[in-house]
Structure formats: structure tokens, C-alpha cells
Structure 1
């Protein structure tokens, strides 16, 4: 186990999937965890299950991000771990893309991630750790994922620049890029039925979907002192799927 005792962590999109699993892992390793998300009931229910703190916020709204930073500052002053996980996936061909869908995906995945990081930088302790959740889609050219993939490519670029900008304060910034994981996002994108999952698994050399807890364990390591020399790195976690071009 990783020792995170005395550390304070904030996880966006913490009520399900990778965010929930990460919160569970950090709490198991001693951290005090705040989770946030758009759905007040879902966040509060998850926080009760995890023994975490719930602070509802919509990461697409700068006003909500500003309120969230003020609430966290009032509760803890500073934090040690920031995991920016909130995101959405919507599929469309480039030809059929609409401005509404484009804005929905970019506003949460890129704008929300960017300004959550931006506004929380003053609240990060020196030596803190930041994890941005990207996607294996940033490394692949999958039809109908152009908007989603573009948002995740941008996140990886922001991560690398943030790692350089924050290095003088010994703040480490890394990204984790999950591939096919058994999470709620699969249901929302219509990929949860058995035939589709069999098709997805066929393209994964390890012949299975990932488990959210596996990402939680990786993040727990990356935010710990054991990873104190790791910054500006993207961790691709996809069972080898990206090897099949």
C-alpha cells in the first residue's frame, strides 16, 4: 500500500467509474478526499459510501469552478492531490458533427479540465501532484471520435506545459490515458452490450476490459512520494489495444 496519510485530494467526476475507484484507493491509503460532479444526489451518495466529502460543481461553468476553489480553500486551505477526471464521450462523424455536440464535449473535457487546473494551482501545496485523465483515443484514429480525441490530445499538451510551469514548485503533473474500461461511460456511448464488448475485447491483446480499480492503483502510485521523479508523462493503460493499428 502507498502511504498518503495527511494528504488532501480533490477528484472531479468522483461519483462513478474511474473517479470513484480512484477516490476509494486514495482513501484506503490514508488520504482525505473531496469528490465533485454535476449531479448533487450522485455525488452525495458516492461520498457517503466512500467516507469522502461531497462538493457538487459543474466543471463546464467557470463560476462553479471558482465557487469550488473557494469552498476547498475554506475547508482545507491547500490540497496535495488534484485528479481532474470529469469528462464526456459523444460519437459523431466529422461530416455530421453539430456545434452543440462540439461545445458539449469541449466545454467539459478541455475547458473544464483547463480551468479546474488553472484555478486550483494557487491551492496546491509545493510538492503536490496533479493527474489529468486523458484517453487512449488521443493515440488512435477511431472513426466518430474526432471531437473526443481532439479534446484528449489537447489535455496531454496542457499536461506537459503545466509540468514545466509548475516544476519550480516541485509540483508534478502527469496524465493517465485509459483504453477500454468497464465504466458508466460505456453505457452512455452505447458500448455496453455483450456483442460490442466482445468486439472491443477482440482488439485488446490482453483480451479483457480494464477494471477502474487498476487506474485507481496507478494514480495512487503516481501521486505518492514513490513517484517523486515522474512528471510530464502520459501513462497509456489500454491492455495493448493501441498496438493494433
Structure 2
């Protein structure tokens, strides 16, 4: 039976790039995001199913998992990739936007894990989570960095929770990536395709091998 790759946060950037590589590798796709138009364009290109999903709304994730299992009968890889940014500085930006970021970046990862855990145990599957180098070193005035510290810790907590079940857990922690909504000083940043290749490297390893974290920087990044 064909393996199934579910991506939460699939409509653009890293999620869309990973969907393309997963399709090339022979996976059936289940793509979720809030942007239905972009998802539909992607499934028209790659096949699979598109499900409107807001990771801060748990019933959306339950519905996506149910759709995946009803359509394909299984889920083999889950990529918890949904995330948003926020301006640095604790007096910068809008407090409601900051709250929405915390819900997306932290609660959204928890909710994705919870909704897919039983399906992953059934296939001895693979959980992949997008964090950031900002989850390894604090950034001045950055609530975004704090959310990624939480995600880094959550990935290890999930690894321990799945230990003994055959489910693997990989945290992807990129440095500067050329992504919508983020600006960087470097010209030679990582691309979404770079991160997608990293995801596919992790999931392609044999079942006894669990790559728990990959920290990846552009060569020009000094910290």
C-alpha cells in the first residue's frame, strides 16, 4: 500500500516544497492549511487531498486525520510545519497577533501531535516538526524565539512519549530561510527546497534509525 504524507502548513514555502518532494518519492499527500486556494492548486499539481485546516482549531485537525484515514487508510509521515512570525520587541506589533502566533506555533504543534498520534502508532510512522535556530538561542525581544524554544522541548517530549512504539520523531531547526513574512540581512539564505530535502533525508532513513534533530544554517550565517 502507498505511504501517506500529511503536512499541516502545506500551502506555501517549506510545506509546499516538501509536498513536491514527497510526491516525487511516491507518497500520497494529505495537505492542510488555512489557504484553500493555494492547497487546491497544489493538489491539482501533485494529486492527493486538500483539507482546510487551522491548527489552532482542534476539530480541523481531527477532520483532516479522519479524511486521510478514510481516503487512504493510513498515515505514515506527519509534518507539523504550520507557523507564523511576529516583530521583535515586546512593545512591537499587535498583542492579539502575538497571541495568535503563540497559539499557532505552540498549541498548533501540540494539537497536530495529539490528532495524529494514534495513526502514527498504527503504522510505526514518522513525526517531523519545524522549529528554528531561534529555538536554540534566545533572540533579543523575540516572542517568536520563545515559541520555538517551546517547540524544541515539545519534540523531545514527543520522542520520549513515542519511545518503544516504533514511531520516529525529527525536529528540523533551520537558520535563515527565504520565506514569506521573514526578512534577513543575508543574500545567500537557505531556501524552502533546502529544508524540504532535509525533511526527506530524515524520513528516508531505515526504521531502526531515528534522527532526532537537524540544525541547518546557510554557510554565510555566523550565529
* TM-score past 0.5 threshold: yes
Indicate conservation of the 8 Å contact 1:82/1:131, yes or no: yes
Write the distance in 1 (CA, Å) between the matches of 2:207 and 2:119. Answer: 21
1:133 Cα deviation (Å)? 0.4
1:200 Cα deviation (Å)? 2.7
Please give the residue correspondences for 1:78-227 in structure 2 after superposition, counting only pairs within 5 Å: 78-96=74-92, 99-124=95-120, 125-144=122-141, 146-186=142-182, 191=183, 197=184, 199-201=185-187, 208-226=188-206
Q: Deviations over 1:39-74 (max 9, x none)?
A: 111111122122232111111111212222222222
Indicate conservation of the 8 Å contact 1:140/1:242, yes or no: no
Indicate conservation of the 8 Å contact 1:15/1:47, yes or no: no
Q: Which residue of 2 aligns with 1:194?
A: none
1:228 Cα deviation (Å)? 3.7
Q: Which runs of 5+ in 1 are unaligned?
A: 192-196, 202-207
Indicate conservation of the 8 Å contact 2:30/2:49, yes or no: yes
Write the distance in 1 (CA, Å) between the matches of 2:177 and 2:5. Answer: 23
Q: What is the aligned-residue RMSD (CA, Å)?
A: 2.0
Indicate conservation of the 8 Å contact 2:176/2:221, yes or no: no
Q: Secondary structure of 1:113's match?
A: helix
Question: Normalising to structure 2: TM-score of the pair?
Answer: 0.91
What is the aligned length? 222
Q: Which residue of 2 aligns with 1:237?
A: 216
Q: Which runs of 5+ in 2 are unaligned?
A: none
Write the distance in 2 (CA, Å) between the matches of 1:214 and 1:97. Answer: 30
